Structures are given as structure tokens and as C-alpha cells.
Amino acid sequence: MTKIVGLVGMMGSGKSKILEIFETLKVSCFNSDIEAKKIMETIPFVRKEIIDFFGHESYINQTPNTKYLSGIVFKNPKKLKYLNSIIHPIIKKKIFLWSKNISSRYGVIESAILFESGLNKLCDKIICVEAPEKIRIQRIINRDKINEESIKERLNNQTKLKSHIKSVDYYIENIDFDITKKRVISIHNELFN
């Protein structure tokens, strides 16, 4: 049976970059963030639920207004939980279908909320990506073009991974790309055998 590996880390830790490394190693990967955006864009009842709850400003030309939505949900944990309650049941179904069609020896699920969503229960192994807060903040500023105060609000809403430390099988400290790549390859070789 194909192994499922969870990839988790705080915002800005570099999960997506690590997922790209796994993809270059021909590993089947599932990016929860990308899939969530696709769900919000393509499923009419999801769009309707979001507009009904968050208002018409939540979409611009059928595309989620992520800046608007982020400004709401990262300041209000209950609203974030509501948004996740719409999207995550569909994510879980997509992961189930994806897991049945994995073409590699193992597959990797990337999710910032792997534990909160219960996706960790689907995983045989879990990789945690870490980076110092200062580096994470700078990465988010560069990627999302938002200010440090907004970033800290978002980070405060993420569950601290330390509470799940016993569930993690591998750690990757993602500061230097070359060192990170070597670590990913080492984990890959172990998982592949």
C-alpha cells in the first residue's frame, strides 16, 4: 500500500518550496492551498456560501478576493473556522481520490492545518518544516506584499506545532536552500525504501 506523508509548517516556513523538491523527485504531491483556491473558484455552492457569509466583496469577477477574506478571517478565528468548514470537507474528498491514484511509492500532502483539519490521521509519516520567525515574516512580506502587523495576526491564528511534536517523524529546518534540498533527498531516500 502506498504511504501518505503529511507536510506541515507555519506560514512562511517554505512548505511549497519543499513540495516542489519532492515533485522534482517524481513524488505525487497534493497542495492543499492550491486546491482550496480551486474549490473557491470552481464550485458554485462554495462561492455562494462564502458570498452569503462574507459579502459580495469576497469575490471579484468570480475569483476569490483573498486580500479581503484574509483581512477578515485572520482577525477572527470563528470566521476562519467557518471558512475552513466549507472548504475542508471537499479537500478531504479530493485527497481521498488523489491517494487512490498515486503513481509514486509514496505521496505528500502539504497543509498548514494538517493537525487541525484531521488530515494527519491519513498520514503514515509527518514532516514538519521550520524556519525562524524573522525569516518567515520576510518571506511572507515578499510573497504576499502585506505588512508585518497583518502577518503577525495570521501567524497568531495558526496552531503552534509544538503541541503536535510527538506526531512528527521528520524535521526540516528551511533556512538555506541547498541544505534543505539535501535533507529532503535524505528523507525521500528513507521513505522510498
**How many separate domains does the chain show?**
1
User: What is the domain-level CATH number for residue 159?
Assistant: 3.40.50.300
- Residue that is written with C-alpha cell 495558526 in the block: 158
Containing structural domain, residue 61: 3-192
CA gap 140, 12 in Å, rounded: 6
Nearest CA among 155, 111, 158 for reference residue 137: 155
Q: pLDDT (tens digit, 0 to 9) for every residue of the chain, 193 residues total?
A: 689 999 999 888 999 999 999 999 999 999 999 999 999 999 999 999 999 999 999 999 989 999 899 889 988 889 999 999 999 999 999 999 999 999 899 999 999 889 888 899 999 999 999 999 899 989 988 988 888 877 777 777 666 666 667 789 999 999 999 999 999 999 999 998 7
